[in-house]
Amino acid sequence: MAELLHDNQSTKVHLSAAQRHIRLCRQVPGTEGLVNAMIPYESDLQNKHTLTTQAIRNREAANDTLILKDALLDNQVRTLFDKAKEFDRDNPGQIVLKALFPDGKFTTITNAPMQDEPTQVRQLLVRLDSLGGRHLLAAMKPPITAAIEASETAQTNYVNSIKEQKSQEVVEEIAKASLRKQYEVNFYNAGIQFGKAYANLLFPVLRSGKSASSEPTEEEPAK
């Protein structure tokens, strides 16, 4: 027996039910009104779902970029650490490494949360500036600055991508609710027009039937 859609069912189930309902109706004369009423909602939800899917991909891409830019910033910090260590070895008594990395290690910075690391590296640049613009290690400032800015941009893009995904998911839920409502309206209108028993034939069975030859089942994907 046909059944109505529920809000806890996925977009996939909603679209499948609407599409199958449309296909069934098109095989029965006099159902043009039902088809015309359903198509706009099916199309709208399909479009909204496509936008949500793209928003998810954008968020994943932004996250990948964020991880990459953070790793590249880490590399710049490690390079400065190594160069400072080399400088101290070649210039005994100057102790530049301690001036740049007071605790004697770079991991305090590179292991910091990604959102905090750019700030810590900017503080490192302040210490680098204190060595003077003519110091051998001053040449490290431009690439480090570029890496900081790239990391900060990646963080901003990632935060924005999360907001966009959440916003699009809300829009999709609204479209899903609209389709579900129209599906219910069609269900009752079909019952008025054709009688309940015949109207059931115009709506797909969404759950398991009684035999393997029954209408294919549409189920929620595993979560």
| CA 167 to each of CA 34, 141, 181: distance values in angstroms, whole numbers, following the listed order | 31, 39, 22
Model pLDDT, residue 213: 40
Verdict on whether the full-model pTM lies above 0.95: no
pLDDT(220) > 70? no
Angle between helix axes 32-90 and 117-129 (nearest 10 degrees) is: 30
Model pLDDT, residue 30: 95
Q: How far apart (Å, rounded) are the C-alpha atoms in residues 161 and 153? A: 12
Mean pLDDT of the chain: 92
The arithmetic mean of pLDDT across residues 105-110, rounded, is 96
Least confident of 45-49, 101-105, 164-168, 213-217: 213-217
- Closest alpha carbon to 34 in 18, 10, 14: 18
Model pLDDT, residue 94: 82
The arithmetic mean of pLDDT across residues 179-186, rounded, is 98
The arithmetic mean of pLDDT across residues 73-92, rounded, is 96
pLDDT(219) > 80? no
Residues 33-55 pLDDT 10s: 999 999 999 999 999 999 999 99
The domain spans of the chain are 11-202
Residues 111-145 pLDDT 10s: 999 999 999 999 999 999 999 999 999 999 999 99
Model pLDDT, residue 206: 85
